[in-house]
Amino acid sequence: MRIGILDIDTKKEKNGRGLHEKFPNIACGKIYGYHKMNGDEVFHPWNGQKVDRLYISTIFSWSRKLIERSLPHWETLADEILIGGSGWDAYPGNVTKLPPEIELVDPNWSYELYGIDYGIGFTVRGCHVGCGFCMVWRKEGLKEYRVSPIEKLINPKSNHIVLLNNNSFADVGFFEDVEEIRERKLTVNWNQANDITILTPKHAEAIASVDFRNFNRTEKTLHFAFDQMIKTKIIEKDENSPTYNSLKYIPADMMKVHELPDNKIKVSFDMMKVVPEKMRMLAEYGIRKRKLTFYTLIGYDTTMEEDLERFALLQQYDCNVYAMMFRDLTGKIGVDGRGKPQSAHVKPFRDWVNGKAFRNVPFKEFDRYRKAQQEADQMTIFDIEQAI
Ligand code: SF4
């Protein structure tokens, strides 16, 4: 069989920026391996070659429109087309999953397909937190579960490993993973924004004991999420769960706890207090603030004042900040978490933070913010006149 794979948002030879810039599509790597083992011819039909079966995968929802536009063309090239991925699936009703015989394929096939010299993958899937803006728990469930040992993800070409786990610290296997990383002398990149509320001294000690790095291995850094001012989650009252245990390390005035039926509790964390508390804890184990990068979600449920407050706090603690604009689960931009138009400050705020304009000008004097604000004010006057 001739098998085509189109991993829509994976940057490959096109950008030529070197091996570490290639971020593989793990599902496509497994599909590649499965068909290679079956003796099929497998390739990227970027030049419009005909195939018997075409797999199309996208991680980001903004590629959905491109796929929809290109589909009539691809239908002329392939007898069968299978489309999936986080950016394509509709939640919760239509979630594509790889069949088990493909899911279990050795990750080395991915490394071969993408020509990468580092190991990458998940040791744990799922996430107990269930943030309203996130598709992970909708796709993988509200409980963490192990999917692979570290050993299986190692790329024989290097000792660097990139973990894509969504909530590593909530995983019961976290400490064993760290031990293995240390014993094998691996460098590790915990690639996703970690849940800082779960950190305990034991986590901090474990993290400090390994060589944690960024994706490219060029810097020592850890990523955390600071998505909302108040972070809420439901936790099982189970002494063996790292999540429940971690509550012991958060002072009472930093969270509210409500008892729920079925041996559960609802916990709301005041993140403006919890984040500095956890940074202090990390610092005690030698993990200084400059090594921390915070992904801050904007345009979901925070106001401009809150965004500025979060940013000022993280600046005060000398952390790196990366602002991420909210898109809804269909990839739609310009709306907030309730589907209402996003505040005018959101896009300029992202540019001000990520483009480092904050070094030169206060946000309220930033030209893009002023322009956006003027446009928003004009819209409001126009709306009032229309209404009259
Ligand atoms: S903690 Fe992260 S992975 Fe978990 S639901 Fe929230 S955003 Fe998603």
What digits encode the pLDDT tens for the residues 287-338? 988 899 999 999 999 999 999 999 999 999 999 999 999 998 888 889 999 9
Look at residue 19 and tell me whether its pLDDT is greater than 50: no
- Residue 279 belongs to what H/E stretch? helix 271-284
Look at residues 277, 306, 326 and tell me which one is the last residue of a structural domain.
277
DSSP assignment string, 27-55: HHHHHHHHHHHTT-EEE--TT---EEEEE
User: Which one-letter DSSP state was computed for residue 94?
Assistant: B
Range in 7-16, 29-38, 212-221, 307-316 with the lowest mean pLDDT: 7-16
Query: Which pLDDT does position 59 carry in this prediction?
Result: 83
Average pLDDT score over residue span 338-347: 95
Q: Measure 38 CA to ligand 1 centroid, in angstroms.
A: 36
360 within some domain: yes
Q: Return the structure tokens found at 265.
A: 């509790």
Q: Return the structure tokens found at 216.
A: 């490219």
Ligand 1 atom at minimal distance to the Cα of residue 127: 4
Query: Which pLDDT does position 93 carry in this prediction?
Result: 66
How do residues 78-89 score in pLDDT, each as one tens digit? Answer: 999 999 888 887
Are 136 and 80 in the same domain? Answer: no
The alpha carbon dihedral of 99, 104, 105, 108 has a sign of: positive
**Domain containing residue 55:** 1-113
Average pLDDT score over residue span 153-177: 94
Look at residue 30 and tell me whether its pLDDT is greater than 90: yes
| 167, 226, 234, 301, best to mutate for ligand 1 pocket (most atoms within 8 Å of CB) | 167
20 — pLDDT class (breaks 50, 70, 90): very low
| 134, 194, 329, best to mutate for ligand 1 pocket (most atoms within 8 Å of CB) | 134
The answer to whether the beta carbons of residues 337 and 301 sit under 8 Å apart is yes
Tell me what percent of the residues of the chain surpass a pLDDT of 90.
74
Look at residues 250, 277, 304 and tell me which one is the last residue of a structural domain.
277
Number of structural domains found in the chain: 3
283 within some domain: no
Look at residues 72, 98, 113 and tell me which one is the last residue of a structural domain.
113
Contacts for 336 with CB less than 8 Å, ≥ 6 apart: 299, 300, 301, 326, 342, 343
Q: Closest Cα to atom 8, ligand 1: which residue?
A: 134
| 91, 131, 164, 274, best to mutate for ligand 1 pocket (most atoms within 8 Å of CB) | 131
Are 95 and 124 in the same domain? Answer: no
pTM of the model: 0.89
| 91, 129, 198, best to mutate for ligand 1 pocket (most atoms within 8 Å of CB) | 129
How do residues 186-243 score in pLDDT, each as one tens digit? Answer: 999 999 999 999 999 999 999 999 999 999 899 999 999 999 999 999 999 999 899 9
179 within some domain: yes
Are 154 and 97 in the same domain? Answer: no
Are 310 and 251 in the same domain? Answer: no
State how far the alpha carbon of 28 is from the alpha carbons of 86, 104, 145, 248, 334, in Å.
Answer: 13, 13, 22, 42, 31
16 — pLDDT class (breaks 50, 70, 90): very low
Look at residue 12 and tell me whether its pLDDT is greater than 60: no
282 within some domain: no
385 within some domain: yes
Q: Closest Cα to atom 6, ligand 1: which residue?
A: 131
Taking the C-alpha atoms of residue 212 and residue 217, their distance in angstroms, rounded to an integer, is: 8
Are 122 and 241 in the same domain? Answer: yes
Average pLDDT score over residue span 160-170: 94
Three-point CA angle 79, 85, 91, nearest 5°: 115
**Sheet with 255-260, side-by-side order of all strands:** 230-236, 264-270, 255-260
Q: Measure 278 CA to ligand 1 centroid, in angstroms.
A: 18
Query: Which pLDDT does position 290 carry in this prediction?
Result: 83
Are 81 and 30 in the same domain? Answer: yes
Query: Which pLDDT does position 17 carry in this prediction?
Result: 38
91 within some domain: yes
Q: Measure 360 CA to ligand 1 centroid, in angstroms.
A: 33
304 within some domain: yes
Q: Closest Cα to atom 3, ligand 1: which residue?
A: 166
- Please compute, for residue 337, the number of CA atoms within 13 A of its CA located in the half-sphere on the CB side: 13
Q: Return the structure tokens found at 21.
A: 């810039």
> What is the pLDDT of the chain when averaged over all its residues?
91
Are 121 and 245 in the same domain? Answer: yes
Taking the C-alpha atoms of residue 236 and residue 369, their distance in angstroms, rounded to an integer, is: 43
Are 37 and 18 in the same domain? Answer: yes
Q: Measure 316 CA to ligand 1 centroid, in angstroms.
A: 26
380 — pLDDT class (breaks 50, 70, 90): low
Which of 14-23, 130-139, 154-163 ranks highest by mean pLDDT? Answer: 154-163
Are 139 and 259 in the same domain? Answer: yes
Look at residue 377 and tell me whether its pLDDT is greater than 90: no
Are 253 and 124 in the same domain? Answer: yes
Average pLDDT score over residue span 239-252: 94
Q: Closest Cα to atom 2, ligand 1: which residue?
A: 166
The answer to whether the beta carbons of residues 111 and 155 sit under 8 Å apart is yes
| 143, 194, 195, best to mutate for ligand 1 pocket (most atoms within 8 Å of CB) | 195
Taking the C-alpha atoms of residue 170 and residue 363, their distance in angstroms, rounded to an integer, is: 36
The answer to whether the beta carbons of residues 50 and 79 sit under 8 Å apart is no
387 — pLDDT class (breaks 50, 70, 90): low
Average pLDDT score over residue span 166-193: 95
Q: Closest Cα to atom 1, ligand 1: which residue?
A: 129
Ligand 1 neighbours (beta carbon < 6 A):
127, 129-131, 134, 136-137, 166-167, 195, 225
For the chain, list the strands marked E by DSSP.
2-7, 41-43, 51-57, 78-84, 119-121, 124-125, 145-146, 160-163, 187-190, 211-212, 222-225, 230-236, 255-260, 264-270, 292-298, 320-325
Ligand 1 atom at minimal distance to the Cα of residue 135: 8
Query: Which pLDDT does position 8 carry in this prediction?
Result: 83
Are 86 and 59 in the same domain? Answer: yes
Long-range contacts of 237-240 (CB under 8 A, 24+ apart): 237/263, 237/264, 237/265, 238/263, 240/172
Taking the C-alpha atoms of residue 195 and residue 174, their distance in angstroms, rounded to an integer, is: 13
211 within some domain: yes
Q: Measure 361 CA to ligand 1 centroid, in angstroms.
A: 33
Burial class (CB in 10 A: 0-12, 13-18, 19+), 362: exposed
Query: Which pLDDT does position 210 carry in this prediction?
Result: 97
Q: Return the structure tokens found at 68.
A: 């929809």
Q: Measure 328 CA to ligand 1 centroid, in angstroms.
A: 14
Are 164 and 263 in the same domain? Answer: yes
Query: Which pLDDT does position 13 carry in this prediction?
Result: 47
Tell me what percent of the residues of the chain surpass a pLDDT of 70.
94
User: Which one-letter DSSP state was computed for residue 249?
Assistant: G
95 — pLDDT class (breaks 50, 70, 90): confident
Q: Measure 128 CA to ligand 1 centroid, in angstroms.
A: 8
Range in 54-68, 267-281, 303-317 with the lowest mean pLDDT: 54-68
